Amino acid sequence: MMEQPTQRQVLRILTACMSAMFLASVESTIVATAAPTIVDDLGGLNLLSWVFTAYMLATTVSAALWGKLSDLLGRQRTFLAALTLFVAGSLLAGLARDMPQLIMSRGLQGIGGGGLTAIAFIVMADILPPRKRGRYVGFMSATYAAGSVIGPMVGGALVDAFGWRSIFLLNLPLGAMAGAVAARALRGVGGRRKARLDLAGAVTLSGTIVCVLLAGVWGGDTYAWSSPTIIGLFAVAIALAALFVLAERRASEPVLALRLLGNRTLVVSVAIAALTTVPFNAAAVYLPLFLQTVRGASVSGSGVQLAPLMVAMSVASIVTGRRVSVTGRYRTVLVAGLVLGAAGSVSLATIDAGTTTGTVMLMMVVLGFGFGMSSPVVNLTAQNAMPVEDLGAASSAMLTLRSLGGTLGIGVVGTILLTRLRSNIASIPAANDLDASSIASGPETIRALDEPLRSDVVAAMADAVGGALAIGVVISIVALLLAWLLPEHPLRDQASIQISESAV
């Protein structure tokens, strides 16, 4: 007998999804505070950036594929497979004896982590109609963001108490518990169907994403944006994208059906999601730099001071989700969130050396509320517009392009920051020997300077951060304009699937 899931079943499934997704979220940032200790133990400073990049690349690329796999093989099977890869990668990372081993292990972790995040959102879309889904999507969005911020703080505490390997090995018992819950909770969710996997589409799509992400990570930092390497990566990405389109036209079961690109609701929702992620991620990455170098906060202190951004985002996500579930309407909430996000970006663009920590935290609250109001809404609108057979692929596309937008945005913001900082330092007569990259890497270089040079460099850094974050103003306005193109369809009252009474 098939029936709608009960509240108890929904909560059990939600617990399984959120716990695993939280692990993947924490793992994306937990290495940050452990990096110096890892280098001291394993060496390979020149490879350190790949410890972060490998996880990010694998997560983003795999998220685009896990959704389609779950459409073909069923949610429970693919979720447990992703969790197994994540735990296996964690074990290998905790046992790594050199930097290449750690990097490969992080890549395996990322493949699993991408599946945990993608399938978690898809499962909730399976068992709940869009009208009821809002409150739960809000909780899940808040969980993922909270995990990303908690990661560095948890990592620092674990490294101090048990060493850097503990940040990976802790995932073994936690992953086992999450797997035990998921094995029971996800039984009967998302039936499998027979079809051939689109390998050509998977390979060309993965290659496109990797090239774009590498260009975003390296551009303006490791290589100039105009360098042959970056131009070559974008050229290869364009070529692979063209091959991907050809492959999808011929595939009987494409990774991403091209007909979905004709769905205006999906396209506009994905574009808004990708754009709004940029100012939020840029604030999360570069405001700690401002707090450390300009306001004198410690590394752990700047993490704590970033909490208002995440708390505001979490509260707004939860409240917005409940509101949309009650009213069934979302466009007004989305526009209000985008307006708040633009206001937060405008305020952050004005920060300077005289801006107090309290003022910055207030600005974070505004931006956090804006992002928290818009994020769950665009997820809902995209899923609400999709037919059941394309739900997994469409949800994965949303997560993948959101991640791509955030990564490229951070790269562009970082380039603007360094360019502006170099210009500011060049205008200080006594600072001709200072290197902008070393100053931007942490507060130690600035603290070692004598007055009045130190105050001048602090002012230069503050101006550079504010100028870089100003790009969020332009992006927020573009997202707001796109919102007017988003049609408002009534949220469905019927779930995509039903669950057998004996399944959960």
Domain boundaries, the chain: 1-196, 198-252, 263-504
C-alpha span between 126 and 121 (Å, rounded): 9
How far is residue 66 from each of residues 80, 121, 358, 499, measured CA to CA in Å?
Answer: 12, 12, 42, 21
Q: What is the pLDDT along the chain (504 residues), one digit of tens a residue?
A: 345 666 777 777 777 777 877 887 777 777 766 766 777 788 766 676 677 778 877 887 787 778 777 777 777 888 889 999 999 999 999 998 888 888 889 889 988 888 888 888 777 777 776 666 666 666 776 777 667 667 767 776 777 788 888 888 888 988 888 888 888 777 766 555 555 667 788 788 888 888 887 887 777 667 887 889 989 999 999 999 899 889 888 877 777 777 777 778 878 888 888 888 888 888 877 888 788 888 887 766 776 787 788 788 888 887 887 777 777 677 888 889 999 999 999 999 999 888 898 999 999 999 989 988 888 788 777 777 666 666 666 666 777 777 777 777 777 887 788 888 888 888 877 766 666 666 666 667 777 777 787 788 888 888 888 988 898 899 989 998 988 888 776 665 555 544 444 444
C-alpha span between 72 and 194 (Å, rounded): 6
- Residues 483, 148, 438, 93: what is their CA dihedral angle, to the nearest 10 degrees? -130
263-504 has which CATH code?
1.20.1250.20
Question: Helices in 75-198 by DSSP H: which ranges?
Answer: 75-95, 99-127, 130-162, 166-169, 171-185
C-alpha span between 33 and 30 (Å, rounded): 7
- Contact (Cβ atoms closer than 8 angstroms) between residue 345 and residue 469: yes
Same fold: 1-196 with 263-504: yes
Tokens at 22, concatenated:
């939280």
C-alpha span between 260 and 229 (Å, rounded): 33
> Model pTM?
0.74
Amino acid letter for position 120: A
C-alpha span between 328 and 323 (Å, rounded): 8
Please check whether the domain covering 1-196 is classified as CATH 3.50.50.60. no
Length of the chain: 504
Amino acid letter for position 402: R
Q: Is 434 left (phi over 0), alpha (psi -120 to 50) or beta?
A: beta
Long-range contacts of 240-243 (CB under 8 A, 24+ apart): 240/204, 240/205, 240/207, 240/208, 240/211, 241/204, 241/208, 243/200, 243/204
